Amino acid sequence: MQSKAHFTLNPLIAMRNAGLRLPTRKLLSKERRWMGQDFHFIFRKQNWLVMKLTAILLLSACLQVSATGFSQNVTLSEKSVSLQKVFKQIHKQTGYQFFYEDEMLNKAGRINITVKDAPLEKVLAICFKDLPLSYSIVNNAITVTPRKVAIVLQQQLPAINNIHGTVKDQNNNPLTGVSVIVKGTKKGTSTGADGSFNIDANVGDVLEFTMIGYKSKIVTVGQSSNITIEMDLEVTVGNEVVVVGYGTQKKTDLTGAISTISTKEFADQPVTRVDQVLQGRVAGVQVTNASGAPGADVRIRIRGANSVLGNNDPLYVVDGFVGADFSTINPDDIEAIQILKDASSTSIYGSRGANGVVIITTKKGKRGGFKITYDGQVSSSQVIKRYDLLSAYDFATIVNQRSVDLNTAPVYTQAQVDFFKTNPGTNWQDLVFRKSMGQQHNLSVSGGSEKTTYLLSANYLDQDGVINNTGFKKYSIRSNINSNPTDKLSIHLNIEGSRREGHNIGLIAGSGNPVTQAISWAPTTPARDSSGNVTLSDPVGSAVGGNPLALMYDQTSDANTNQANIIGGINYKLPIDGLAIDLQYGMNYANAQGAYYGGSIVTRGNPAASRNSTEQTTVQSTSSLTYNRTFHADHSINAVIVFETQKYIQNYFSSSSSNLFFPSLGYYNLALANSFAVGSGYTESAILSYLGRVNYAYKDKFLLTAAVRRDGASKFAPGNQYSTFPSVGVGYNLSKEDFVQKLNIFSNLKVRASWGITGSQAINPYATLSTYATGTPAAFNSAGVIYGIQLGNPGNLNLKWETTKQSDVGLEMGFLENRITLEADYFVKNTSNLLLNQALPAYVGGGTETKNVGSVQNKGYEFTLGTNLVKGKNFNWSSNFNFSFVKNRVKSLGGIAPRIPAGTGVGAGMSITNEFMIQPGYSLGSYWGLKYLGTWKPKEATEAATYNQKPGDSHYQDINGDGAINTSDFQIIGTGIPTSTLGWNNTFSYKALTLNVFVQGVFGIDKLNYTKAVGEAGAGDARQITFSEIKNRYIPGVNETSNIPAFSSTDVIYTQSSRFIENGSYLRVKNVSLAYNLPLPKKSKINIKVFVSATNLLTFTKYTGLDPESSNIGSSTDTAQGIDYGAYPNSRTYTFGINLSY
Amino acid sequence: MKKIQILFFAIGIIVLSGCKKYLNEEVQGSLLGSGALSSQQGLEAALTGTYAGLENTWGTGFIHATAVGATMGGDDITTHKASNKADFRQFDQFDVTSTNQRTQALYSGCYKTIQGANNIIANYRATVGDATIISNIAGEAYFLRGFSYYWLVRLYGKIPLMTNPDFADSLLTIHSSQPADVYSLIESDLNTAATLLPNTKRDPGRPNKGTALAYLADVYLTEGGWPMNDPTKYALAAATAKEVINDSTLYGFHLVPTYTELWANNPATNGTPETVFQLSTFLGVGSTTNANYGASAMPGEEGGWDDFFSELNFYKNFPLGPRKDATFDTLFTLGNGATLPYQQSQTQHPYYKKYYQYNRSSNWNSSTPECLMRFAYVLTIYAEAEARATGTPDALAYQCINAIRQRAGEAPLSGLSGPDFAAAVVQEKAWEFAAERYRWFDLVRLEMVEQANANKDPNDLQPIGTITKADYTFPLPYSETSVNPNL
């Protein structure tokens, strides 16, 4: 019978491949009680898959027994009809007689049935599907009886001894639905709601207890007829199913380096965004909160930075949508996160896989029941530390001393200096920093019927920044719906929408920022004048920069983004075993509205306002064919071929007005102004891809993955559009070998190796074309401007993909039943055809030309150690440690230049040339400047004089020995890319208390501390020195050992020197949280948990700035990270939270 | 089952049929290629972009203190001894490095303008539209190219000579051209401009024919001295300047009656009739606002930035009169309303009132036009060039210089020998055009830099090391030599 194989084999394979235990035999074995109860129990445990498969198997078994070949057909169309009525109809149409008890049918309820000219056996099958009834046909009589498993297995061994007992979990809670079988026999049962069971067995028989998610347990029957069993949760990751992109795979069958973060790891921590989940939790992933502003940019790197020009952000795939915006995801909606690191995993994403891939799967509703959860948090934040600034009196004294030393007139009269003995002056930091509050609320409801599940969740976040008048709000809502209208068809629809509101976040950068100005403005300058107006300019300190108060309150920069992501798809099992077709369509829409208003003070009497609107639409279609089958029990094959297209369209317009007539209208009425500027633009790009992958496993022992993707991209000129990205990975599960098992050391031992090619979309659309720069204004009278055009960057038709070849070898070990696991990887990533923007000299019009030149290498190793150190009845300590090291080296620049400068624009007015240099043999992000050798000392006076210097002046290394200090003495003086990171996550639990201590560290990075150059050397806007450290300067005859230069007219200060390069390594107690599970009656079904948490509690670093983690450069660049020029610091945050679930 | 098969089939057809054109780049809203200049409007837009190189606040060009800073080697201006003025000090102390951001700003701006002008010059003949306006546009482009190269050749000496707008990688290895080649192009451009430009400026911020000729006269005058040292150019300078003087009514140029009204700096008047060439500015758009007038020129006591001010001896030797009063500010007003003589100020120097804003506003930005040449200057070109060319100043030469002296409240000159007259004109220029970016170039072409810097007031910045001819020009910016070491 065709349908037999169809019903029985396919689900078995599906289950096997899904990594589930195969309970079929146990469930089919003899059972005294009515099987329906078992359904019920299993159902309650939400093992819906098992239940469903069991139903199918039983049904097919029924059919096997009962089918005898009917020829008469039936036509019916009834909704919510009683069985009695259906039987009457069938009787009318076929003449067959039914025998049953009314009560039995009443219990069964009503059914829906629509059949047309269908054979009787099929009609009966539909009728009895999902009903606790069975039937038999003798001649033309149909007898309906309660379904009994005895149909399958008739024989029964004589009961020798009746064993009864209870099965419980580690927490002493009864376990329902545990299979209990007598080994070597077909006798079996399962536990009831109270965890109890009854089974007949002989003394000496072995009972095996199994349940999904728990370690199976074996007990030999002794004299006692009463047994209590405790089952442990399965800690092995062996059966874990991992999302690998365009499919899933068993963790044990992986050949690539893929890390998983489960929601448990950040359960009781005040997480508001995905990056906080990633930070420190996975070896090989570096997360830097470049800005401490709420809702601000974060830099995430997987195995280092490959690209100079392109974005080194990993690719985010959310529920199959490629290139999603991770910042819109509510962490509470996350089911699992997978991080694909090596090429055999990432090459399935081809031209976008070079930076690693983060796959996020969102939660789905569970069958049966209805669950509500609420999480609420309130938090309080403040800066980790403050700058040590001179008091007003010290400042005035030192300014005057400096004036004398530099042969200028004293700034303050003695009376003014004396005045500050009693008057503290202005504490600018007090005016800038504050203690800020935040709150977050999550509410979700989920559930489902047998065929359809749903999840709805909403999130609200409101965080104020530690700098006054900055803040961030986020609203999001998600709806995930899954349905299986038939056994073969499943459909899903995920809709997510969010609104993000950033207030004044973007203002905090560079010299015109309240933090930089707070250390530039003199403490002797009052913040407000006698009539309460903000002081407009500082006669002593900051030269250009506005009053910090004005910078915070006299301007508004709002960035509001509305975003929606919609993904829908269908999956259909084709009538060939293991073959299914999957279609998914996705759309992401983001509308970003920016608005700025600068008041009269910051604009010096020319109030201005602007608005801009950017609309981004991404449309994706993914069609795939999957094939999953196991042959002869040992050979399992999992294959997929995919056709995918993605189009991205961006449209923007902007408008700005200045000389506003009514400044009080802010940015809301741009028309009432003297002058206007408008702009608009459009960008579009598309990717077309074909890909395929085969996973093959032999006895789960020898593993092979081979994949290839071919991507075409519109960004390149025809001829260079397509590229192919192949990969291969192999694995050997040694722990499945007898000789390893005999050693009795390893619970898991696997070696794997992979190689592959990925690419990077490093260029912007239209980079191959020479376009005009538009919107260049010029004035021809004093009344306004005209906008013109200028030749833009020359296009390069020869541009092609940047490609990264990556090799990886990995070792996975597990000891003591995986209480200790160790995973180690070594990798080498070589990026060639590196796309670089070569700066063009000004004489050809300046700008840059994009070229494929050179290569960069990242190589390194990663370790992850997972331990369950203490495992007691009440006390548990589990600890996960990861460490990774990446060495980044520029290998070649293709001979176009010995080195290529990379600037930032951050230090405009500070640095005399680009702060970074890309040079073979060094890492990307190498600092370029003079080596500072300290101050000239008295015994070096003669040598100093040859440089027109004297003792106490800055002494720089003259590397070419030409007797002059200039750009020819510049050299690489540090590295702005970290080499290693570590994360250490500890969870201690004692009864209902859980303590989490999470430590994170970054090492091997230097920072260029421009803030120090401002405060300690009076660079940039600062005309005077405000840092207390200046008291320790070189003073001739008094303090001649100091390396802080003396006040001297011959001294030359280079901000781009190793004097301001500092070790930026740090180790940080990122989070400590204590959670308490309220002891509620077990039957209440409500779970309440409260927690308190401290973020950034302790930081160990030599860095002298406010925060080693923050910098001025956004996540888009790696060559220039590590500059701190008044960067928005990360804060220390205390959070209280409550978590309710029902 | 059937329904689903139909569904898949339909989707398959749609997907496959859409593939072919899927990767075509849709360029919308972007301008590509020389076709952009085929219309008169396109050509005009390209011309506007060409001006932008010379007037980009803080970025490039002349509407911030950059050009004033670059001429600090003259004896008329200096800067703050401490504070954050290192780049300015390099000019005053003859220690200019290749990374000086001020020369970079001038250099890049001039070349951006040259690139734009090259594009117009290469394409305007094919432009469709009003022939007169097209030729005016082309005239402005030639003028701007000549003007830009004139600044570049005087600042740097040997420079790369670009006359083609198209980029090619081979341009990254070219060598610099000799000043003679550059001057030859400048003469040619300004001559061509003079034939294409109208007699009346299209806008206050544009050149007319008179402007082109006035600059041509100045170019000839410069070629008479260092480094070209071609005395035959003096006669050309005199003749060209005379042409401008004779047709001054036609071009709308004349001296305004008082020196004070020249520096009222009221943006509403769009400059004065004395202006031969100015870059207009506009406060309302960030990159076109003038940052050279106001805070940049003012003392810290008045909220200024102390970027540039007078050298002490220059002020002391400056002849008394209404011109001196209009040129300098010596009494500063403090925040509390009290006044402070410059001697007691932080920098102890007089400041250039010329560069204060209308009504002494201490703002850093304004719509004040940036005047780059005055008709008075054309008069001095004639006076000096005629004297040097013929050896005897003629009546017109005396007339020219005395008109200026008279307005300044000085006695007229008479009965001088050729060399003495020329020297007197050069000195008069120093006073008349103090801080107007001319003194440095006069000192260079007449090889007077060393002499002018020999006896500085001890309270002024002193030269570092000995001044040599190498200090007459600046090193090419590092951005250039680091990419193309052949320069």
Query: Testing the interface with B: which of A782, A970, A1050 to mutate, by most B Cβ within 10 A?
Result: A782
Query: What residues have CB less than 8 Å from B90, skipping those under 6 apart?
Result: B96, B97, B100
Q: What integer pLDDT is reported at residue A8 of this predicted model?
A: 34
Q: What secondary structure letter does DSSP report for A963?
A: S
Query: Given the structure tokens 């601000």, which residue do they identify?
Result: A296
State whether A849 and B167 contact (CB < 8 Å): yes
Separation CA A853–CA B337 (nearest Å)? 62
Shortest distance between the Cα of A843 and any Cα of chain B, in A, equals: 5
Mean pLDDT value of segment A318-340: 87
- pLDDT per residue as tens digits for the range A103-117: 777 777 777 777 777
pLDDT tens for each residue of A1041-1055: 999 999 988 888 888
Max mean pLDDT among A62-76, B186-200, B338-352 falls in B186-200
Residues 692-721 of A with CB under 8 A from B: 712-715, 721
- Average pLDDT over chain A, rounded to whole? 83
Q: Do B159 and A838 touch (CB under 8 A)?
A: no
| Range with lowest mean pLDDT among A223-232, A1026-1035, A1129-1138 | A223-232
Q: Is A604's Cβ below 8 Å from some Cβ in B?
A: yes
* Whole-angstrom distance, CA of residue B200 vs CA of residue A660: 34
Looking up tokens 């210089």, which residue turns up? B401
pLDDT digits (tens, 9 = 90+) for A958-1014: 998 888 887 788 999 999 888 999 999 998 999 889 899 999 999 999 999 988 998
Nearest to B162 among A766, A773, A844 (CB): A844
pLDDT at A159: 45
List chain A residues with CB under 8 Å of B204.
780-782
CA nearest to A235, candidates A876, A912, A1036, A1075: A876
**What's the pLDDT band for A21 if we cut at 50, 70, 90?**
very low
Contact A846 B26 (CB under 8 A): no
Least confident of A56-60, A723-727, A785-789: A56-60
Residue B463: DSSP 8-state? P
Whether A912 and chain B come into contact, CB under 8 Å, resolves to yes
Higher pLDDT, A1030 or A1080: A1030
Query: Looking at the predicted structure, is the pLDDT value of residue A37 above 80?
Result: no
* Both tokens assigned to A726: 């192949």
User: How many other β-carbons are positioned within 10 Å of the β-carbon of residue A1013?
Assistant: 25
- CB-CB neighbors (< 8 A) of A774 in chain B: 30-31
Q: Could you tell me the two tokens for A882?
A: 């990861």
Q: Is A591 helix (H, G, I), strand (E, B) or coil?
A: strand
Q: Inform me whether the pLDDT recorded for B453 exceeds 60.
A: yes
| Residues of A whose CB is below 8 A from B47 | 788
pLDDT of residue A544: 74
pLDDT at B1: 56
Given pLDDT bands bounded at 50, 70 and 90, which one contains residue A23? very low
Q: Is A378 on the interface with B (CB under 8 A)?
A: no
Considering only A115-124, A696-705, B240-249, which range has the smallest mean pLDDT? A115-124
Rounded distance between C-alpha atoms, residue A369 and residue B385, angstroms: 101
pLDDT tens-digit map of A153-197: 334 444 457 788 888 776 666 777 777 888 777 777 777 767 788
Spatial CA neighbour of A285 closest among A722, A883, A875: A883
Q: Residue B25 and residue A684: Cβ atoms within 8 Å?
A: yes
The span from the first CA to the last CA of chain B, in angstroms, equals: 75
pLDDT in tens, B221-275: 999 999 999 999 999 999 999 999 999 999 999 999 999 999 999 998 999 999 9
Strand A673-698 and strand A702-713: the pairing is: antiparallel
Neighboring chain A residues of B367 at a CB cutoff of 8 Å = 779, 782-783
pLDDT exceeds cutoff 70 at A908:
no
Verify whether the Cβ–Cβ distance B362 to A771 is below 8 Å.
no
Residue A63 has pLDDT above 70, yes or no: no
- SS3 label, residue A137: strand
Residues of A in contact with B303 (CB under 8 A): 536-537, 539
Distances (CA, A) of A273 to A270, A294, A1065: 9, 10, 24
| The pLDDT of residue A479 | 95
CB distance from A897 to chain B under 8 Å?
yes
Residue A669 tokens, joined: 């009425």
Residue of B nearest to A949 (CA): B464
Average pLDDT, chain B: 91
CB contact (8 A) between residue B285 and residue A913: no
Q: How far is A1018 from chain B (nearest CA, A)?
A: 8
Strand order in the sheet with A357-362: A258-262, A334-340, A357-362, A315-318, A321-322
- Does the pLDDT value for residue A244 go beyond 50? yes
| Weakest mean pLDDT among A19-23, B206-210, B355-359, B430-434 | A19-23
Count of CB pairs separated by less than 8 Å, A with B:
276
Residues 6+ apart with CB under 8 A from A464: A294, A381, A434, A436, A437, A438, A470, A471
Most A CBs within 10 Å: which of B6, B25, B123, as the mutation test of the A interface? B25
User: Would you say residue A350 has pLDDT above 50?
Assistant: yes
pLDDT at position A678? 87
CB within 8 A of B277, min separation 6: which ones? B147, B207, B211, B214, B215, B371, B372, B373
The rounded Cα B92 to chain-centroid distance in angstroms is 19
Give yes or no for A566 touching B (CB within 8 A).
Answer: no
Buried b / exposed e across A341-350, counting CB within 10 Å, b at 16+? Answer: bbbbbbbbbb
B47, B267, B284 ranked by CB distance to A658: nearest: B284
Q: Cβ contact (<8 Å) for B27 and A721?
A: no
Structure tokens at B368: 């004040």
Residues of chain A with Cβ-Cβ distance to B19 below 8 Å are: 645, 688
Once rounded to an integer, what is the mean pLDDT over residues A369-384?
90
User: What pLDDT band is residue A24 in, cutting at 50, 70 and 90?
Assistant: very low
Q: Which of A646, A844, A899, A915 to mutate to test the interface with B (most CBs of B within 10 A)?
A: A844
Cβ–Cβ below 8 Å for B303 and A780: no
In whole angstroms, what is the distance from residue A937 CA to residue A952 CA?
6
Q: Which of A256-265, A468-477, A832-841 has the highest mean pLDDT?
A: A468-477
In A, which residues are within 8 Å of B477 by CB distance?
842
CA B86, CA B95: separation in Å to the nearest integer? 10
What is the predicted pLDDT for the residue at B303?
81
Residue A71: the pLDDT is 47
**Record: contact B81-A623, CB cut-off 8 A:** no
Task: Determine, for residues A845 and B167 on separate chains, whether the beta-carbon distance falls below 8 Å.
Answer: yes
- φ/ψ region of B339 (left if φ > 0, alpha if ψ in -120 to 50, else beta) reads beta
Burial of B242 (0-12, 13-18, 19+ CB in 10 A): buried
Closest chain A C-alpha to B421 CA, distance in angstroms: 38
- The pLDDT value recorded for residue A28 is 36
Decide if A583 touches B, using CB distance below 8 A: yes
Answer whether A395's CB lies under 8 Å from A425's CB: yes
How far does the CA of residue A1084 sit from the closest CA of chain B (Å)? Answer: 46
Give the A window 819-858 contacts with B, CB below 8 Å.
838-846, 849
pLDDT of residue A183: 79
pLDDT at A25: 37
More confident residue, A566 or A271: A566
Q: Percent of chain A scored above 90 by pLDDT?
A: 38
Mean pLDDT of all residues in A1102-1121: 77
pLDDT digits (tens, 9 = 90+) for A610-634: 999 999 999 999 999 999 888 887 8
Among all residues of chain A, which has the CA nearest to that of B18? A645
Any CB–CB contact under 8 A between A605 and chain B? Answer: yes
For residue A538, give the chain B residue with the closest CA: B303
pLDDT tens track for B278-291: 999 998 888 899 99
* Residue B82: per-residue pLDDT: 65
**Per-residue pLDDT tens digits for B44-100:** 999 999 999 999 998 899 999 988 999 999 999 999 876 667 788 889 999 888 878
Of the ranges A66-70, A99-103, A903-907, the best mean pLDDT one? A99-103
- From chain A, pick out residues whose CB is under 8 angstroms from the CB of B171: 843-844
Query: Chain B residues with CB inside 8 Å of A784's CB?
Result: 282, 284
In the structure, what pLDDT confidence band is assigned to residue B9 with cuts at 50, 70 and 90?
low
Cβ contact (<8 Å) for A781 and B203? yes
pLDDT for A102 equals: 73
Could you tell me which residues come within 8 angstroms of residue A298 by beta carbon, excluding any fewer than 6 positions away?
A273, A275, A287, A288, A289, A290, A291, A1115
pLDDT interval class at A717 (50, 70, 90): confident
Residues of chain B contacting residue A791, judged by C-beta atoms under 8 Å apart: 115-116, 119, 165
pLDDT at B141: 97
Q: Which residues pair with A884 in a beta bridge?
A: A862, A981
- pLDDT at residue A749, as a whole number: 92
Q: Please answer whether residues B160 and B487 qualify as being in contact, where contact means their C-beta atoms are separated by less than 8 angstroms.
A: yes
What pLDDT does residue B325 have?
A: 95
What number is the average pLDDT over the span A457-471? 92
Cβ of A846 within 8 Å of Cβ of B111? The answer is yes
Residue closest to B445 by CA, chosen among B466, B420, B422, B464 = B422
pLDDT the model gives residue A33: 36
Q: Which of A510, A506, A512 is nearest to A595 (CA)?
A: A506
Which structure tokens are listed for B317? 């030797």
The pair of structure tokens assigned to A1016 is 């300690």
DSSP 3-state of A201: coil
Q: Is A781 on the interface with B (CB under 8 A)?
A: yes
Task: Give the predicted TM-score (pTM) of the model.
Answer: 0.75
**pLDDT digits 0-9 by tens, B363-381:** 888 999 999 999 999 999 9
Q: Cβ contact (<8 Å) for A966 and B97?
A: yes
pLDDT at position A55, please?
Answer: 39
Q: Which residues of chain B neighbour A652 with C-beta distances below 8 Å? A: none
Provide, rounded to the nearest whole percent, the portion of chain B with pLDDT above 90: 74
Identify the weakest region by mean pLDDT among A211-225, A698-712, B434-448: A211-225
Tokens of B129: 């539209």
Nearest CA in chain B to A610: B285
Q: Is A948 on the interface with B (CB under 8 A)?
A: yes
- Residue A687, token pair as written in the block: 């990717």
